[in-house]
Structure 1
Amino acid sequence: MEKNTTNIFGLRAIIEAIESGSSINKVYLQKGLRGTLYYELDKLIKTHKISTSTVPVEKLDRLSKNSNHQGAVAQISPVEFYDLEKIIEQTVDSEKTPIFLVLDQLSDVRNFGAIIRTAECTGVHAIIIQKNGSAPVNAETIKTSAGAAFKMPICKVDHIKDALFLLQASGIKTVAATEKTEDSVYKVDFNQPIAIVMGSEDRGVNPSVLKIVDYKAKLPLLGEIASLNVSVACAVFLYESVRQRTITNI
């Protein structure tokens, strides 16, 4: 498994990478691209729901180190992603009480890395992210995770809501971290199979996701600041689960 994010460039090279099943974080495209190869690539990007960004040619030059990028550079993930259904099945079949972490379009790679590190330390069985709109697993993510990204199973899904429905159908309760509730995190029973849902830095958990979770919980805030950094809030939720499960097992 690679330990550094790899950039590949050139329309044909990116097409072949996608067709071979490589895990693509994002494709950077030059504005105004045309031609047969571009349209073939565009079709693959849409089919596989790969995140894209239109950027100036100068950024493509930097990413490709001034090689002949043909207006396209792709960032390949340095880690392998796991199949969610298989991870759920394996975890449910094990003797451990399942705990999953669902990140609803978290966008900052350093927050992502810090969360991966905490999740690994607290026994989370897998992290679930959405293919589009989520922070990539890149070199910065891995550095911030202190290498935990190579140990923690990460699953990519098309839609967060579909992942939650699958978890619930497998007997796993879902709890969203949100201030839009009167219930405290300390009222949640973390001794049952559970998945914790954390929202994005700017808007929190999507309202459509809040409608389908089993529980909502918030952290008590006693100061004047209205919210915590998402990686800090996530750590509190995860360590409350550790506290409850540790007390139960004493």
Structure 2
Amino acid sequence: MYGRKPVLEALGDASLVVDKVILADTARGQAAAEILQAAKAAGVAVQRASAHRVKVLAGNGKQDQGVLADVVAPRMSTLAAALAGKRPPSRVLLLDGITTPANVGMILRTATAAGLDGVIVPRRGVAALDPMVVKASAGVAFRAPVLRCGTAREAAEMLVEAGYGLFALGASARSSVFDIELPQRAAFVLGAETAGVGDEVGELVTEWVSIPMPGDVESLNVSAAAAVLSFELVRRGTAR
């Protein structure tokens, strides 16, 4: 998380655990003093670093304002651990090739709001869970049920082996997301912004589904499609 106001809000949020704050050595004045005071009150360590280092860590040199914070994500786990647990997730999203941080962040916010059991965010081929994703999620990324694995293909194989139905969103699919019958455990693949679901994952898909669009529009933004899907699961009462 970066920026003075977001970091101050995180330090003042009793529901969040802040591991540390990194403040640029050029940061001075009232804003820096407020952050130091808030960190001290919360018992959080503050490290000083060069302004360049802060920009590199934040990944957004224009908006970091010389400060960032590492915040613990309590619901983050590995996909392997979730599948091996006593109560494996029943409804999950799998991100495949989504590289725009804003889309990943908005999907995390939507899925969390809808009460889905997990969003699988592979370490490779998908936007990193960095401050830009956190900002796009409006901070919800810290509370999102994020499940990690190496690649989307690896996740798809693990899900199929565990008995999940694997449904992929595709604009040309004949089956409607509103009509399909779902098994007890189902995973929904959301593909890249332009290329869609990749072939490596596509060959493992149980069924392709689409969102009916009577209007003259070819497709929805992937985060909008995720919202439609997530709240269709809420409507069915099967989000969890």
Aligned partner of residue 100 in structure 1, secondary structure: strand
Is 1:166 equivalent to 2:140 in the alignment?
Answer: no
Contact 1:84-1:155 at 8 Å conserved across structures? yes
Contact 2:166-2:189 at 8 Å conserved across structures? yes
1:47-72 Cα deviation digits (max 9, x unpaired): xxxxxxxxxxxxxxxx95246x9xxx
Distance 1:150 1:97, change over 3 A: closer
Distance in 1, matches of 2:198 and 2:21, equals: 29
Distance in 1, matches of 2:195 and 2:70, equals: 26
- Listed as ranges, the gaps of 5+ residues in structure 2 are 1-16, 24-48, 59-68
Distance in 1, matches of 2:167 and 2:22, equals: 35
Match of 1:98 in 2: 90
Match of 1:83 in 2: 78
Distance 1:6 1:98, change over 3 A: farther
The Cα of 1:156 is off from its aligned counterpart by: 2.6
Match of 2:204 in 1: 212
Contact 1:191-1:244 at 8 Å conserved across structures? no
Contact 2:109-2:141 at 8 Å conserved across structures? yes
Distance in 2, matches of 1:232 and 1:3, equals: 33
Contact 2:169-2:209 at 8 Å conserved across structures? yes
Structure 2 matches for 1:1-250, cutoff 5 A?
1-2=17-18, 65-66=51-52, 78-80=71-73, 81-90=76-85, 93-94=86-87, 98-190=90-182, 192-245=184-237
Letter of the 2:233 counterpart: S
Distance in 2, matches of 1:88 and 1:238, equals: 20
- Listed as ranges, the gaps of 5+ residues in structure 1 are 8-62
TM-score (norm 2): 0.67
Aligned partner of residue 220 in structure 2, secondary structure: coil
Contact 1:109-1:135 at 8 Å conserved across structures? yes
Aligned partner of residue 228 in structure 1, secondary structure: coil
Contact 2:112-2:145 at 8 Å conserved across structures? no
Contact 1:79-1:149 at 8 Å conserved across structures? no
Contact 1:97-1:191 at 8 Å conserved across structures? no
Aligned partner of residue 208 in structure 2, secondary structure: strand
Match of 1:52 in 2: none
The Cα of 1:219 is off from its aligned counterpart by: 0.8
Distance 1:3 1:148, change over 3 A: farther
Distance 1:220 1:157, change over 3 A: same
Q: CA RMSD in A?
A: 3.2
Letter of the 1:182 counterpart: R
Letter of the 1:65 counterpart: A
Contact 1:6-1:78 at 8 Å conserved across structures? no
